[in-house]
Structure 1
C-alpha cells in the first residue's frame, strides 16, 4: 500500500477546474472527499496506471450529480456525466468499469466476493469516509486519521445531512434514493 498520501491527481484537478463554478463554495468539501476516497482505495490495495485513471474519473463523478445534475438521486446522472467525459477524452473502453464503480458505490452489501475487485474496494472506501471511519474494512485507524488530516471534512458530512433532510422532507417515501442493497 502507498505510504504517501496522494495529494495531486491531474485528471481530478482538471475536472474541478472545469466545473469550479458549479460546485461553488462546496468545492473544497467535495474535493477533499474525492481525495479521501482515492487514498482510502490505495490503503486497501495498489492500483496500476490504468486503474488509477479509472479511479480518478469514478472518484470525481461518483457524487457529482448532486451539483452537476441538481439531484440527490444522483447515481444515474453521475454515471452519465462520467461516460460523456470518457467519450470526449477518447476513453470509452473505461466506461463500463467507471460506470460500475459509480453505480455501486452506495451498495450496502458486497459488490464482489473478491475483496481486491476495484469496484468493491471503491465501495468500501466510500463507506469508510461517509461513516467517518466507523466502518474500516481492515484499514488501520491511524491511516484513516492521516487521510482525514490531509483532507479535512470542510463541511462535507454536514452537507450530506442537510441534503438527506431536504430529501426526506420533499420525498419521504424515498429518503435515500442513492442507496442500493
Structure 2
C-alpha cells in the first residue's frame, strides 16, 4: 500500500473551504456530515492509492455526494447533489471531471459493484460509503482496525441517526417512493 493509504488524512483545505462556505446551510449538522465526508475519503484511501488529481476529485465528490440534503433541502438528494457538483466544477473550470464525479455521486448507494468503464475510484467510493453507512458491517477487505481508527478520529456525531430519521420521515410521508439509496 502507498504512504497515502496508510496515513490518516485529517485536514483537506478544499473540503474545509466548502464546509466553511456552506456552514450556515448545514447548521448544527455540519459536524456529522463533515465527519462522514472525512470517513469516506479515508476509507477510499484504505482501499487504493490515489494521485493528486484523484484526491481533488475525491474531495469534490465526497463533499457533494449527500450535500443536496442540506444545500437543496431535500432527502431526494442524488440529482440535486450532482447539480451542485456540476456548478462547482463549472465555476472552477473542471468540467472534464464531471463524468467521473457524477458517477461517484449517482452510484454511491449502488448495491452491486460499479463496473461501467471499470473506474475503480468510483467503485472504491461506493464501497467506502457502504462501509461507513453500514457502521463497518460491510468492509470490502478494509481491516476492522483501520475502520476503528478512522471512526475514532471522525466520530459519528449523529450522522447515522440523522439518516434513520430522514428515512423514517420519507417512509411515513411518501411510502410509495423508494428511499434515494434504493433507487440506483
What TM-score comes out, normalization by structure 1 length? 0.96
Give the ranges of 4+ consecutive aligned residues of structure 1 lying more than 6 Å apart after TM superposition. Answer: 113-116
RMSD of equivalent CA atoms:
1.4
Conservation of the 8 A alpha-carbon contact between 1:58 and 1:82: yes
Are the equivalent residues in 2 in contact too, given 1:74–1:178 (CA < 8 A)?
no
Matched, 1:171 2:179: no
TM-superposition CA deviations, 1:108-159 (whole Å, max 9, x none): 1111288871100100000000000000000000000000001000000000
Structure 1 match to 2:159: 156
Alignment map for 1:100-179 (pairs within 5 Å): 100-112=103-115, 117-179=120-182
Q: How many Å separate the matches in 2 of 1:161 and 1:173?
A: 17
Pick the aligned partner of 1:99 from 81, 97, 102.
Answer: 102
Gaps of 5+ in 2: none
Picking from 42, 46, 67, the partner of 1:43 is 46
Equivalent residue, structure 2, for 1:6: 9
Within a 5 Å distance, the mapping from 1:77-92 to structure 2 comes to 77-92=80-95
Pair 1:57–1:8, CA change in 2 (3 A): same
Once the two structures are TM-superposed, the CA of residue 174 in structure 1 deviates from its matched residue by: 1.4
> Number of residue pairs matched?
181
